Structure 1
Amino acid sequence: MKDRLTITLWDFTWYTRTGPGEPFEDLDEAFRQAAGRGYNTVRICAMPLLLFGTGLDTGALTFSGLGGGYGQRTRWYDVRHTTTLDARAQLLDLFRGAARHGFKVIVSSWEYQQSPSFLTDDSWRRAVAAIAPPARTDALAGALAALVDLLKAEGLDDRVAFVELHNEVQYGGLTEVTGAWGDASILGLQPHLERGIEAFRARHPGVPVTANYARVPVADMRGLPRNADVAVFHPYVYGVLQQLLDEFALRDTGRPYPQERAYAELLRDGAPPLQDWRPDAWRMDATAVGHREVYTHDWCDPVKWDRWLYDRYGEHRRAMRATLDTWIDVAADWAAGRSVPLVFGEGWVGYTPLHGTFEEGPVGAEICEHAVRRSAQVGAWGTLVCSNAAPHHPMWNDVSLQRRLNEGFLK
């Protein structure tokens, strides 16, 4: 299948990390490196609401990390420099680079999850929060349509592979309209997403539009938008990683954080206590990744973390493989039932510390290889080596793995 998409996840990092020596200082070089690894598609937060839905002046936006050392050893948060850029010019530079290097772009938004946390003031966060929850999908649809209007005026709209109303819609600010969270919000979100898809399609009927989901919500597939042009899922299987999250209550603030156990089993010498490691309060409100998880990623000893997972992986190996296979099969069946293409835009294990190597090591690489092979077997239009295979993660250095898996998918 010649038009298959080999995806590298550039998320919001393509505009938050443009400083000296950072991975997106030179967009052309980032595209060259991606092409050398066998990629032909990038997936981004195109900041549509910021550019076309908030009324904010985007000509000189200043981005930074979350303050001090907070997030500097946490994936996606390790912004090293404070930089100022023209957001619209940066967007056009990315699409012009995509055109020069023969790339497609999956256009999405992380604005109700974490993108606004990287601005040095809270104007972006306040602007998107001020949109009434029932109007948020409509606002995203209008902003994304305006973004495509701009690309069309610049002769760049052919670079768009498809448009997503938002990233992982069941985890973020879009759910506020439902009064639920996670998969419990899927049924309530359905009419809002369907309305947003129709609103975008009315303005750009030739551009595929959809919404994407964390994991594959096998118990709630009936609640996915019935008018989506692409079926997009993020199959993070977690398994042994979920055991770590559960035992250390990293995402469950209803239980105490086991500080002494964390010191013994996960953290580096000299780690401060949890309560002493915080960013500005508004930044915590602007990101979906919780305080406990960032703290533990920032202060973990990567060797301890990886050893913890390896020691227990045997108990989860078969279940993780079975879950991944089931999710891929269910996703493929749902896509086939609606005669729409299937894309896996993120995956496969889960959210690990920046310097952890579980997903980059022999176990993770085997999971990636299996997932890419299964993606091809079920006829997916697009897939990725894994979410960590991008310029802002250490796995980018494993050129041979990325090239081999991408070439195998494209055969």
Structure 2
Amino acid sequence: MTYTPVPIPDHLPEKLTITLWDFSWYVRTGAGEPFEDLDAAFAQAKERGYNTIRICAMPYLLFGSGLDTSALELGPMGGEVGQRMRWYDVQAPATIDARAHLLELFRAAARQDMFVIVSSWEYQQSPAFAATDDWYRALHAVEAQDRAVELARSLARLVDFLAEHHLDDRVAFVELHNEVQIGHLTAGLGARGAGAVPLLTDRLERGLAEFHRLCPQMPVTVNYAEVPVAAMSAIPESVDVLIFHPYIYGVLQALIDTYGLRGSPEDFAQEAARADLLRAGAPDLADWALPAEHAWRLEASIIAKPEMYVHDWCDPAAFDRWLYEHYGSWREEMATTLTLWLEVAADVARDRGVPLAFGEGWVGYTPLHGTFEEGPVGAQICRRAVAESARVGAWGTIVCSNAAPQHPMWADVALQVECNDLFTRRTAAAPPA
């Protein structure tokens, strides 16, 4: 390795306890929504033992698109679509001055002495919640091979904007984008998921170089879904932090594969899903759709239509029951995968001389009202994952992706306090699976 990483600023915490606020912190600001009062949300996070939030800072919208964001209209996907889906269940529309709202978030972070991992979900979900498709169209007007560079320029302008207001010290580090190998950053490469990792390297290296040129003192990285153990050497040399999302899936992947949740609508197992997972009165997938005027939102989101449909129309208890009934066959594999991924990630971080963080993870994407991850099995996976994060020497980790104000798991204060304390006390050994 010839690259010398940008050092992590001394004023940042020794350990980052991270809660995932993604795009929800600006999408869900209406009356009664979890981020209606940002100070209250930060205070709740601090009570649960967190010192860092991770967000989509909408950098391209604010500092690259040229769009007027002084009255940005945000709201639900349309009709009843998404109302029982995790991350998509926006209830109340809202209009925000987006730059002013960004400043208010960072001012609230400063008041609570908390920090922010700045990222972007813009080539994944974020634009789907806007009232018009202007943001989405602006993003996709950028040539695919230039998107990482344009994100870098937008993020650099965002950091400069924060510096003008003496708030840049709240930034823990910057990510060019969330889960770079899963989304529209891979356009034209012909692959997504782990297979896209080596194909993306050149695009990402150019983006990182541009950000380093513009903001040489700010650590920057790119973020990966899972831990791409078969392609770690393809991760750009010039990252200043290694950050991954170890979703181990296992039994959840078995459910997804059994019913065809992430395939084409033609391959979806409609009758099997109706018998095993769906609520009474659920329409067929073929009859379920967004209102015509909102159809572009499905293009702006990377969630497969069958998965959205099942999450919207499942009986959460039936979904959970399927996972519990089949978990025994997957328990050991899931535990082994978690340990292997975290150890590989830590080994690469040590070799490169950069800190390691886990910004999302553990089981995977479940319906909004499913309780598998905070139930007796999932909670123990959280405990184990946090303890393993500490054991391998990670700088930052999460309790669970669902432990955030926009998810029901936020109510489980005791588990979050326990896990954050477990991580910051540098537990030497993980509890049993």
**In which range does the TM-score fall when normalised by the shorter chain?**
over 0.9
Aligned length: 411
Is 1:201 the counterpart of 2:212 in the alignment?
yes
SS in 1 for 2:211: helix
Kindly report structure 1 stretches of 4+ aligned residues shifted beyond 6 Å.
none
Cross-structure match for 2:180:
169
Is 1:185 the counterpart of 2:196 in the alignment?
yes
Aligned runs of 1:198-347 on 2, under 5 Å? 198-253=209-264, 256-279=267-290, 280-347=294-361
Cross-structure match for 2:372:
358
Cross-structure match for 1:59:
70
Q: Note if contact 2:265-2:306 (Cα within 8 Å) is conserved in structure 1.
A: no
**Distance (whole Å) between structure 2 residues aligned to residue 359 and residue 405 of structure 1:** 14
Q: How far off its partner does 1:177 sit?
A: 4.1
Q: How far off its partner does 1:185 sit?
A: 1.4
Cross-structure match for 2:5:
none
Per-residue deviation, residues 368-388 of structure 1 (Å, max 9, x unmatched): 000000000111000000000
Cross-structure match for 1:371:
385
Paired amino acid for 1:398: D
Structure 2 counterpart of 1:34, from 18, 35, 45: 45
Paired amino acid for 2:103: L
Aligned runs of 1:38-187 on 2, under 5 Å? 38-187=49-198
**Distance (whole Å) between structure 2 residues aligned to residue 276 and residue 81 of structure 1:** 26
Q: Note if contact 1:2-1:410 (Cα within 8 Å) is conserved in structure 2.
A: no
Cross-structure match for 2:416:
402
SS in 1 for 2:267: coil
Cross-structure match for 2:18:
7
Gaps of 5+ in 2: 1-11, 426-433
Q: How far off its partner does 1:256 sit?
A: 2.1
SS in 2 for 1:372: helix
Q: Note if contact 1:63-1:84 (Cα within 8 Å) is conserved in structure 2.
A: yes
Paired amino acid for 1:70: V
Q: Note if contact 2:243-2:358 (Cα within 8 Å) is conserved in structure 1.
A: yes
Q: Note if contact 1:20-1:81 (Cα within 8 Å) is conserved in structure 2.
A: yes
Q: Note if contact 2:18-2:397 (Cα within 8 Å) is conserved in structure 1.
A: yes
Is 1:388 the counterpart of 2:402 in the alignment?
yes
Q: Note if contact 2:263-2:304 (Cα within 8 Å) is conserved in structure 1.
A: no
Per-residue deviation, residues 312-342 of structure 1 (Å, max 9, x unmatched): 0000000000000000000001111100000
**Distance (whole Å) between structure 2 residues aligned to residue 90 and residue 210 of structure 1:** 24
Gaps of 5+ in 1: none
**Distance (whole Å) between structure 1 residues aligned to residue 44 and residue 239 of structure 2:** 32
Per-residue deviation, residues 39-88 of structure 1 (Å, max 9, x unmatched): 00000000000001111000001001111110000000000011100110
**Distance (whole Å) between structure 1 residues aligned to residue 323 and residue 233 of structure 2:** 35
Q: Note if contact 1:249-1:255 (Cα within 8 Å) is conserved in structure 2.
A: no
Q: How far off its partner does 1:255 sit?
A: 5.2
Per-residue deviation, residues 280-336 of structure 1 (Å, max 9, x unmatched): 320000001111111100110011000001000000000000000000000001111
Cross-structure match for 1:348:
362
Q: How far off its partner does 1:192 sit?
A: 1.3
SS in 2 for 1:7: strand
Per-residue deviation, residues 344-391 of structure 1 (Å, max 9, x unmatched): 000000000000000110100000000000000111000000000000
**Distance (whole Å) between structure 1 residues aligned to residue 190 and residue 333 of structure 2:** 32
- Alignment RMSD (CA, Å): 1.0
**Distance (whole Å) between structure 2 residues aligned to residue 268 and residue 153 of structure 1:** 52
Paired amino acid for 1:30: A
Per-residue deviation, residues 120-153 of structure 1 (Å, max 9, x unmatched): 1100110000000111011000000000000000
Q: How far off its partner does 1:254 sit?
A: 7.3
Give the structure-1-normalised TM-score: 0.99
**Distance (whole Å) between structure 1 residues aligned to residue 213 and residue 270 of structure 2:** 53
**Distance (whole Å) between structure 2 residues aligned to residue 2 and residue 78 of structure 1:** 33
Q: How far off its partner does 1:179 sit?
A: 2.7
